[in-house]
Amino acid sequence: MSERTLIGKTALVTGSTSGIGLGIVKSLARQGANIILNGFGDAEGPKAEIAALVVQVGYHGADMSKVPEIEAMIAFATETFGGVDILVNNAGIQHVASVEDFPVDRWDAIIAINLTSAFHTSRLALPHMQKKNWGRIINVASVHGLVGSAQKSAYVAAKHGIVGLTKVTALENATTGVTCNAICPGWVLTPLVQKQIDAKAAALKISNDEAIKLLLGEKEPSMQFTTPEELGELAVFFCSDAGKNIRGVAWNMDGGWVAQ
């Protein structure tokens, strides 16, 4: 086994009990980082998976739309592990509707969870990173942080906002050992995307495989999903010595989506 490069570091990944977040957590844990999981649903399964990688693992169920809960989660990280060295802002929700029909409460929830929560976690985690002169903030944006799609006004607005927040955070810490970058995935086969595939298959009365081809064919020239594991390996690269002068980028892993 090659040397584990993140031993002694603590990573907090929001929305990490499934999907992209869990993929990123596994990659960081394989490099020896202690992990704080966050998310809804079953936490015991993911906790056991991470513990099997021989790292310490904690869990905090903060609702990322509630500032006092975010503050409690960072306090928990500080008490348990001494602070957060690697912060991955991944938590996100989606709702699809045209602007004039978009429910106001859905807009507010998407902006709160997909954008505002990353501001709160960053402002709370940065002092520890600045004191140590080492830290990595990785914001999971989306290809929708770079381009738009119809029916996704709140999501696209939030993800464009995340890319802007990433740039400012990177610039403010540019002369330090703290970096901030964004990952912008295209289609990733997560429970969220599977719901969209199922809905497309049902609406058009076609098979799941045909719905997948339609979904990818609309946007993603490679005709293949990016995997949570691939995104996790990109996060590890950002955390490595090779990534120390990568600052403020929005790195798309999107099968050619934005190249068109």
- List active site positions: 155
Look up residue 80 and give its amino acid.
T
Query: For residues 3-14, b (16+ Cβ closer than 10 Å) or e, as one string?
Result: eeebeebbbbbb
The Cα 164–Cα 145 span in angstroms is 9
Task: Check if the beta carbon of residue 66 is closer than 8 Å to that of residue 88.
Answer: no
The Cα 180–Cα 168 span in angstroms is 9
Specify the 3-state DSSP secondary structure of 15. Answer: coil
Q: Collect all residues with Cβ–Cβ distance below 8 Å to 95 and sequence separation of at least 6.
A: 102, 103, 106, 109, 110, 154, 155
Of residues 153, 80, 161, the one with CA closest to residue 122: 161
The token pair that represents 78 in the structure block:
């500080």
